Amino acid sequence: MPAIRVIPCLDVADGRVVKGVRFENLKDSGDPIELAKRYYLDGADEVTFLDVVATNENRGTTLDMVQACAEQVFIPLTVGGGIRTLEDVSNLLKSGADKVSVGSAGIRVPKLLADIAADFGSQVLVISLDLKRAGSKSGFGVTLNGGRVLTDLDALEWVKQVQDLGAGELLVNSIDADGTRDGFDLEMLEAIRAISKVPLIASGGAGKTSDFVAAANAGADALLAASVFHEGSISISSVKKSLQDGGFEVR
């Protein structure tokens, strides 16, 4: 079994890292370049950079910020937010991103996902899944625009579809758990793990190191968190130690 990856997430708005609860009441958490460098030095396996207002503002991710981040961080960098075209993907990769995270645009135009996988390879394509409990077949629904709009898509049906379209990884974020620090949505992770053939990144709800171990036990291949790392209440090294103590291999 591959080593479990620990991934700090930088949610960026207007050039600053922000964090809220369930994507609301966003508060400033610092400079994205400084935080990315700190996490790299602290032993992060990857960094994920999400422009959380690009889609709503109908624009692309700020390329100069991505380039500055890539110049400071020598681990895989995933970038998302406002990706709508193959040109957007090409520009991000040229700016230093290793992977792109696509959410809302893929729901609106599923062919975009297949085109990205065909042109750049599935290893580049991370599907951003902002999911919440809903009255759909599986009990989990898919949202658009950073959790603001609930679609009529069933989460598990969409997971099957994006894999057929060429997804390389699934970034599964629980809108209900996001920022609450009450733990990852293990039921959601287990349901998706049961049908997923690609790596699964768990996001939303981390509050203590044991939460990361629980998510790994639920089938996550990588563990993503934001506020607990930004505020220093949990370190990347302490997460890795807990995972090791729980019998998981880490890098």
Domain count, the chain: 1
Tell me which of 11, 45, 178, 211 is the catalytic residue. 11
Residue 251 falls inside a structural domain: no
pTM: 0.92
Residue 52 falls inside a structural domain: yes
User: pLDDT tens across 30-65, in order?
Assistant: 788 999 999 999 999 999 998 876 555 554 567 888
Residue 53 falls inside a structural domain: yes
Tell whether the model's pLDDT for residue 75 goes beyond 80: yes
Residue 182 falls inside a structural domain: yes
Q: How far apart are CA 90 and CA 239, in angstroms?
A: 34
Domain interval for residue 143: 5-245
Q: What is the DSSP string of 15-60?
A: TEEEEEETTEEEEEEE-HHHHHHHHHHHT-S-EEEEETTTTTTT--
Q: How far apart are CA 41 and CA 62, in angstroms?
A: 24
Q: Which residues pair with 57 in a beta bridge?
A: none
Residue 14 known to be catalytic:
no
Residue 14 falls inside a structural domain: yes
User: pLDDT tens across 113-160, in order?
Assistant: 999 999 999 999 999 999 999 999 999 999 987 778 999 999 999 999
Tell me which of 45, 130, 178, 185 is the catalytic residue. 130
Q: Encode 90-107: b = buried (16+ Cβ within 10 Å), e = exposed.
A: ebbbebbbbbbbbbbbbb
Residue 164 known to be catalytic:
no
Residue 250 falls inside a structural domain: no
**What CATH number corresponds to the domain at position 133?**
3.20.20.70
